Structure 1
Amino acid sequence: MQLNLKNPLVIFDLETTGMNIASDRIVEISYLKVSPNGKEECKTLRLNPEMPIPPQSTEIHGISDADVADCPTFVEVAKNLAKDIEGCDLAGYNSNRFDIPLLAEEFIRADVDIDLMKRKFIDVQTIFYKKEPRTLSAAFKFYCDGDLENAHSAEADTRATYEVLKAQLDRYEDLENDVNYLSKFSSFNRNADFAGRIVLDDNDEEIFNFGKYKGQKVADVLKRDPGYYGWILQGDFTLHTKKVITNVKLRSFNK
């Protein structure tokens, strides 16, 4: 089944130095841009993360420090990458919890102003887990009746994700071929930040989703405990989480 698109859809996958959204970096990004008319464009960029790649990460994706020594940094490609994905909805495998938050962090570090929160996100892993909880290789076998070769290669995983998404639409009649629907279905929470530390309630107000103030409104907590804001800014939270909380704080000053 072909996707019913109103906006271009970018299916992407990252290979990184590790799994810490706040501190790890991208070493490879591959993205498949699918236009509403069905046209497909695929690009793969290998990047110098400007930090050592841990051996355990190299064991997974096969990319070493030597492989990226002469590659551009994210800062050098950030503007062109932002231009490529501007106005596009995003899809990936475990992308809502990892790839999109990490990509947003890299854009913030590069001082590139792109508001990914305005886009729709489809997480193929979430759809898969809700329907058939397994790995991407198993998903490809289950939905596409094939073996995923070169798993953990960004381009192979990207194309497999795209094929699985189309096959999911073919298999499940209750899945609507609509990006808005798929974005909502592949999300567990309505996040205000990419890391899911802050969520939105039914009135679109920001709520803490962690710590001692979990379940309480961010604006109320910042008024009641101003020091908590400073603790967050100094803590091991993502730049985007800090940005969202700062915006809530600034908004209260303007009231």
Structure 2
Amino acid sequence: MTWFHGRLCGFDLETTGVDLENDRIVTACAVQCGGKQDTQSINWMADPGIEIPEGAAKVHGITTERARAEGRPAAEVVEQVIASLAESVSAGLPVIAMNASFDLTILDREARRHGVQPLTDIVGDNLYVVDPRVLDKQMDQRRKGQRTLSALCQHYKVRLDGAHSSDADAIAACRVAWRLATRFERIGVMTLPELHQAQIKWAESQARSLAGYFRRTPGKESWADGVRTEWPLVPAPRAGEAA
């Protein structure tokens, strides 16, 4: 059976911002869907322990006040999210995550911040990730326009029930991955290990292309230095090493 006809594990975070080393988890969702079984999802809201900027709150709808009142301790949430993902990975499910290197890196840094065993330390090389963003950019390189989850849902005619809520985004990412695998045979016929390794190369190439674009664009030259080529996880800085 091809990978996309089996059970999938969707994963998504909403955060306080986009700084991999310093921002925190606000909401998280891990959802199992497909495989001719009922969809099952777990949602978390964390008190991140820092202020949630107004801009971030406008995106996902969670203010600092609400997170403090309704959120659970961040360490507890991080531990439970990792345990849920580890269970899915151990069952052989791929983790479907839009822009996976952001969500998985934030989760990794939160684990290290709170003394929780990181996901990769638990599952090792059994972690296979499917990133609709990487796949779409590779399979349809000449298409103009945005490559956000909302844009991909519109392009591939996938229902998105509520953008920028973790549960809606996690399920939508699975739907987009399924569409991509059915539309592009090259993706669908790969095994999960093959697809994972291919995405490592594709993501690196895409990042280098983006950095090159920034270097050639007046006013954006400095942005190139912030482009990371690692996928699906940016390695944690070593002690004394700048991020």
Tell me, in whole angstroms, the C-alpha distance in 2 between the residues paired with 1:121 and 1:93: 10
Residues 9, 105 of structure 1: alpha-carbon distance in 2 compared, 3 angstrom cutoff: farther
Q: How does 1:207-218 map to 2 (within 5 A)?
A: none
How is 1:185-224 mapped onto 2 (pairs within 5 angstroms)? Answer: 185-188=198-201
Equivalent residue runs for 1:22-101 within 5 Å = 22-34=21-33, 38=37, 40-70=39-69, 71-87=71-87, 88=89, 89-96=94-101, 98-101=102-105
- Asked if 2 retains the 8 angstrom alpha-carbon contact of 1:18 and 1:57, the reply is yes
Q: For residues 235 and 176 of structure 2, what CA distance do their matches in structure 1 show?
A: 32
Q: Over the residues paired in the alignment, what is the CA RMSD in angstroms?
A: 3.0
Normalised to the residue count of structure 2, the TM-score between the two structures is 0.70
Q: Which runs of 5+ in 2 are unaligned?
A: 205-223, 226-233
| Structure 1 residue 38, shift from structure 2 partner | 4.7
Secondary structure at the aligned position of 1:129 is classed as helix
| Contact 1:105/1:239 (8 A) holds in 2 | no
Measure, in 1, the Cα distance between the counterparts of 2:119 and 2:165. Answer: 28
- For 1:190 and 1:57, the matched residues in 2 are separated by 26
Match of 2:13 in 1: 14
Identify unmatched segments of 5+ residues in structure 1: 192-209, 212-237, 246-255
Higher relative contact order (CA 8 A, sep 6+): 2
Aligned pairs for 1:120-159 within 5 A: 120-132=128-140, 134-143=147-156, 145-146=157-158, 148-159=160-171
Considering fraction of residues, name the structure with more helix: 2
Check the 8 A contact 1:91/1:122 in 2, yes or no: yes
- C-alpha deviation, 1:27, in angstroms: 0.2
What is the alpha-carbon distance in structure 1 between the residues aligned to residue 66 and residue 136 of structure 2? 33
Equivalence for 2:4: 3
Identity of aligned residues (%): 23
What amino acid maps onto 1:20 in structure 2? Answer: D
How far is the alpha carbon of 1:189 from its aligned partner? 6.8
C-alpha change, 1:35 and 1:131, in structure 2 (3 Å) is: closer
How far did 1:39 drift? 5.5
Give the Å deviation of 1:242: 1.6
Q: Distance in 2 between matches of 1:44 and 1:38?
A: 19
Q: 1:85 to 1:37 in 2, by over 3 A?
A: farther
- Count the aligned residue pairs: 197
Query: CA separation of 1:165/1:68 partners in 2, compared to 1, >3 Å: closer, same or farther?
Result: same
C-alpha distance after superposition, 1:18-67 (max 9, x if no partner): 00010000000011135878564211111110000011111211111122
SS in 1 for 2:186: coil
Distance 1:190 1:160 in 2: 21
Alignment CA distance shift 1:37-1:160 (3 Å): closer
Shift of 1:180: 1.5
Which runs of structure 1 show a deviation greater than 4 angstroms over 4 or more consecutive aligned residues? 34-39
SS at match of 1:240: coil
TM-score, with length taken from structure 1:
0.67
Corresponding position of 2:106: 102
One-letter identity of the residue aligned with 1:154: S
